[in-house]
Structure 1
Amino acid sequence: SADGGVIDCVQLYKQPALRHPLLKNHVIQMKPSSYPHGIKTPNHSHHNSSTSNPQLIQNWHKNGGFCPPGTIPITRSKLNVPRKTARVPTSFADHRGGGNHLDGKETDPTGHEFVQASIFGGNYYGATANINVWSPKVEGDNEFSTAQLWVYAGPEVNVIEFGWMVTKKQNQPSIFTSWTDLETGNWWLTFQGEEMGYFPPVIFTSLAERSNRVSWGGEVVNSKSLEDGGHTATEMGSGRYAGEGFSQACYFQNAAYLTSDGVATDPERIETFTSREPCYNIDFGPRVASPSPGAHFYFGGPGASPSCTF
């Protein structure tokens, strides 16, 4: 591809995911048997990027490259690109019903910092949101910045994460929706209305049937906290604080969960968590008009600044 990536076209039933021992005889579901209700995608969820209308076109498509029917594209892993591994905010993991905001002001042992809006305690069968897309500055080679959704279940922590991520060397912003198929129980993942694939329930323990926590927000890696106790200049969201509002700060629109019958529903009570203010923050500002249900909030920040002390 134009950015130096190598894409392999792999036969559908030879994809690495099917090497999982619990998927030995798995029959692939090609299309969902059910779809969520009440979700509409606005046409203004993308700012400050190369196109005003993001499409399902990647760099390797621009030179005429497409995989033939019966195969799937898989990008070869790059050893020098930071890996996004699942993390749960330490302070927030056990926080339930203790008020509507928690400011962690603590150092995660791996340097991860979060801004999240979350719902707890119910039965959630999917999550959806329109995620504003930016290209935040990433300072360190081992750092990244994301805007994403988390779908959790416990007590054995299972988590599905999806959204867009930026590293110092690689930028691949995306917009996703996930839900549970009402017939098969598969956790489906879509991008702008196109089905990307699914997570079979058999590979989960706690997430096999439903979620009991959903979060929306951002995550960065602050590698300086591990090196010299300082703070990275890696930006979250657009790099602007939440209070700067529309067209300046990154936002989530129509953040909703899905009921057991697949209906997108407004979160009744949202609790927010910020690892470190005022490096990054969150604000439920004026709502952007939308025909779909769900919460709306702004989040982000510049990272290292005179007001961001470690």
Structure 2
Amino acid sequence: MGAAFNVIPCCVTESETQDAEMEVLDLDEGVEQHTPVLSRDTLCWRRNETEERSAHACKDSDSWVGFHNVDTNLNRLVSQADGDCPLSNKSKTGELYDCIDIYKQPAFDHPLLKNHTLQLKPSSLPNGFKLTKPKPATFYGFNDTCPSGTILIERSQKPDNFHARSIDDRTSQGHYYAIFETTGSGPFYGAHARMGTYRLPNLLPNQVSSSTIYLYGGVNGPDNELNVMEAGWHVAPFTYNDNIPRFFIYWTSDGYENTGCVNLLCPGFVRISSGNGPGTPIVQFSTYNGEEKFMDVLIAKDPSTSNWWVWSEGVSIGYFPKELFPKMDGRIETVQMGGHVFSSASDPSPPMGSGHPSQEGRNKAAYFVQVQLVDSTNSLYNLVPESIEFRTDIPDYYDIGDYHNTNTNEGYAFAYGGVGGFKK
């Protein structure tokens, strides 16, 4: 796919117009360069995306003319591809979704997936994991049922500046964390947790706060060969133009340098269901000193195909193809879980978790519960406390604590978070 770009408001500054013109050139070049291998549905997806950018550029400006010309070019290519564009819908939070042929979804524009065989469902579930019946996706604000053989794909969001470095290299870049990390007890074949969800309405436009499961491969090699999968929830105003907490995924195969992206912003992750997918809003939240609400997330290797499946709320939403991770060799070397925030150097850092420190305890601090790993027999097992260590880079602002095995079905649990406010 070509370059992703920002919506250009009308009217814009001269520098912003120049940026838009460069984005037009990148898009047009990308279309011409990749046309022979782009599917009709992908061309439609790109056409719809370009129409959105054109609608936000100043009428008759160079950027508007450029977007309009690219749109005309894409319409011609769609006609040559012998078909009409798929159905489109707009969610109640403003996102645009298209019903895309499941076999022609943008994931397969990735060069490593040209000969990939689509897997429609996991070959088996990890032992100890139970599926749940999918619920109507009321967060869309429209019927999420696409025609048979198609799935909902959200049009591109803006670039994600949050996922730019591995945990070890993030502090100097405005990234701060409070996590646990496994220490040599692997290999692992997946990880599971239920994480408390919270509203964080006061993040600034350039800030991000996330609660995440990280799976790593290639940790002992060069930094630019690090393979990472992520899943969890985050608040990312720059990416979505709002402060709504959302389920997200992320991947990279070169240590966050050039490959990978958040959600479906680039080819790679294969979407299977139209329900609670990457980027969709979370609808239930915990209340401070009140009821806790949790989101269930599992990433696990399929024992037959070696693809890495993702479940959200007990429903399989799709998978990371094995071809994306050459250094994982079918297994995970390190697992991390916890909180991670980003802020520019000029602003105080944002809240993490519930926005309260871990020592405040249940119903106040944010928790991960039912923390489990997947072994070589495809079975979930409870975390062994002696096999992990806890890490936080600015403990006066973000911490991790109250880690313990519970006597209930919550298994291993820990608290994390903080109010933020750190400024260099």
TM-score with structure 2 setting the length: 0.60
* Residues 88-116 of structure 1 deviation map (CA, whole Å, 9 limit, x = unaligned): 1226xxxxxxxxxxxxxxx7232111111
- The answer for the alignment partner of 2:20 in structure 1 is none
- The answer for the alignment partner of 2:163 in structure 1 is 85
- Structure 2 portions without partners, runs of 5+: 1-90, 247-281, 283-294
Match of 1:284 among 402, 407, 418: 402
Match of 2:416 among 268, 292, 299: 299
Q: Does the alignment pair 1:71 with 2:165?
A: no
> Does the 8 A contact of 1:178 with 1:190 survive in 2?
yes
- The answer for the alignment partner of 1:102 in structure 2 is none
Which SS does the other structure have where 1:182 is aligned? coil
Which SS does the other structure have where 1:284 is aligned? strand
- The answer for the alignment partner of 2:171 in structure 1 is 108
TM-superposed deviation, 1:266: 2.6
- The answer for the alignment partner of 2:182 in structure 1 is 119
* 4+ aligned runs moved over 3 Å, structure 1: 39-42, 81-84, 285-290
- The answer for the alignment partner of 2:276 in structure 1 is none
> Does the 8 A contact of 1:257 with 1:266 survive in 2?
yes
- The answer for the alignment partner of 1:267 in structure 2 is 383
Match of 2:112 among 13, 16, 22: 22
Which SS does the other structure have where 1:123 is aligned? coil
Q: Does the alignment pair 1:128 with 2:188?
A: no
- The answer for the alignment partner of 2:309 in structure 1 is 188
* Residues 99-143 of structure 1 deviation map (CA, whole Å, 9 limit, x = unaligned): xxxxxxxx7232111111110322000000111111124432111
Q: 1:150-189 alignment to 2 at 5 Å?
A: 150-154=214-218, 155=221, 156-168=225-237, 169-171=242-244, 172=246, 173=282, 175-189=296-310
- Identity among equivalent positions (%) equals 33
> Does the 8 A contact of 1:129 with 1:176 survive in 2?
yes
Which SS does the other structure have where 2:181 is aligned? strand
- The answer for the alignment partner of 2:92 in structure 1 is 2
TM-superposed deviation, 1:69: 2.0
Equivalent-residue separation in structure 1 for 2:179 and 2:130 (angstroms):
23
Q: Does the alignment pair 1:253 with 2:369?
A: yes
TM-superposed deviation, 1:287: 5.0
Q: Work out which structure has the larger RCO, using CA pairs closer than 8 Å and 6 or more positions apart in sequence.
A: 1
TM-superposed deviation, 1:183: 1.2
Q: Residue 110 and residue 246 in structure 1: after superposition, are their counterparts in 2 closer, same or farther (change >3 A)?
A: same
Q: Comparing both structures, which one devotes a greater share of its residues to helix?
A: 2
Equivalent-residue separation in structure 2 for 1:86 and 1:251 (angstroms):
25
Which SS does the other structure have where 1:243 is aligned? helix
TM-score with structure 1 setting the length: 0.81
TM-superposed deviation, 1:289: 4.7
Equivalent-residue separation in structure 2 for 1:41 and 1:272 (angstroms):
31
* Residues 253-278 of structure 1 deviation map (CA, whole Å, 9 limit, x = unaligned): 11121101111123331111102111
RMSD: 2.4
- Structure 1 portions without partners, runs of 5+: 43-53, 92-106
Q: Residue 164 and residue 27 in structure 1: after superposition, are their counterparts in 2 closer, same or farther (change >3 A)?
A: same
Q: Comparing both structures, which one devotes a greater share of its residues to strand?
A: 1
- For these two proteins, the number of residue pairs brought into alignment is 273
**Letter matched to residue 104 of structure 2:** K
> Does the 8 A contact of 1:236 with 1:300 survive in 2?
yes
- The answer for the alignment partner of 1:50 in structure 2 is none
Which SS does the other structure have where 1:109 is aligned? helix
Equivalent-residue separation in structure 1 for 2:410 and 2:126 (angstroms):
12
